[in-house]
Structure 1
Amino acid sequence: MKKIKNILVPLDGSKSSLKGLRLASTIAKSSNAKIIGINVVRYSLGFHFPVSSEIKKKNTKEAESIILEAKKSVMKDKVIFIGKILKGENIGKTIFDFLKTKKFDLIVIGSRGPNPGAEVFLGSVANYLLHKSKIPITIVK
């Protein structure tokens, strides 16, 4: 089996994504891997409807808070954590495009985001990545 060096963990602040982070931290600690935690800030609501600058600031501030809390969480396990905030319209596609920028060995993602109602309307990010990515994925429920 290939050694795990870089684990991608999409983070949205949901309980599910935090469970994924805890699992990724356990895996990273045992394999001496790095965790790259990402949060995608949506700057439009689809169909090219941009959000206001006030909402962008609020969403960016929330993303920074999520990344900071994630970093604090994995520091307890003495795991290297690199946080990234990405901007995109489609969260799944933005994460998929990010996968191409670095060599990842594993994706650990929560099964549900913070808004289960929106998941039905917008589609599931975990499902999108499961079908698009060639990298092994662990989905945490």
Structure 2
Amino acid sequence: MLYSKILIAYDGSKTSDKAFDSALKLAKLNHFSKLEIINVINEPSYLAGTMYFTPLQASQDEYTRYSAEVTNKIKDMINDFSNTHIEIRLGNPAKTILDYAEETKADLIVIGSRGLNSFGEFVLGSVSHNVMQHAKIPVLVIK
């Protein structure tokens, strides 16, 4: 099956590099495929009684610098494939990926099995697992 819009969840980890490579190969099979690439900056929130709060984590300058680094790395990896869009968002990674897949009408999500924070994934449940459980479209998980 050829996919016309492939969403890559990218966090800069080794497995997301592999997932990116796999998605790029799939997209190149169909010259009309579009790659939607999302990097989600995790913005944790905590429940305290009946209120949610988000701790101040980083300055806007740090987010801007990080976004530029990720965007440049992605552009280097794309090299000869031009039908792409890079999106950097702040939020809960799994929810943000799923919302973006729906927003862009993606027909496949490609994600690495483990991200940058494997300890957090072990304790809280992995982003890829949550995406697989709640996606309305096929999900390709790369090890």
User: What is the aligned-residue RMSD (CA, Å)?
Assistant: 1.7
Q: Over residues 61-114 of structure 1, what are the superposed CA-to-partner deviations in whole Å (9 max), with x where a residue is unaligned? A: 2233122211221123x24221001111x2111111222212111111000001
The alignment's TM-score, normalised by the length of structure 1, stands at 0.87
Amino acid at match of 1:72: D
SS at match of 2:103: coil
2:64 and 2:135 mapped to 1: Cα distance?
Answer: 26
Contact 2:101–2:109 (8 Å) recurs in 1: no
SS at match of 2:24: helix
- In structure 2, what is the equivalent of residue 35 of structure 1? 35
Matched, 1:137 2:136: no
SS at match of 1:100: helix
> What's the CA shift for 1:13?
0.5
SS at match of 1:101: helix
Extract unaligned runs of 5+ from structure 1: none
- In structure 1, what is the equivalent of residue 87 of structure 2? 84
Contact 1:28–1:79 (8 Å) recurs in 2: no
Contact 1:92–1:129 (8 Å) recurs in 2: yes
Counting aligned pairs with the same residue, the percent is 34
Matched, 1:51 2:51: no
Extract unaligned runs of 5+ from structure 2: 48-52
- In structure 2, what is the equivalent of residue 12 of structure 1? 11
- In structure 1, what is the equivalent of residue 67 of structure 2? 63
* Aligned length in residues: 137
Say if 1:101 and 1:11 are closer, same or farther in 2 by CA, change over 3 A: same
The alignment's TM-score, normalised by the length of structure 2, stands at 0.86
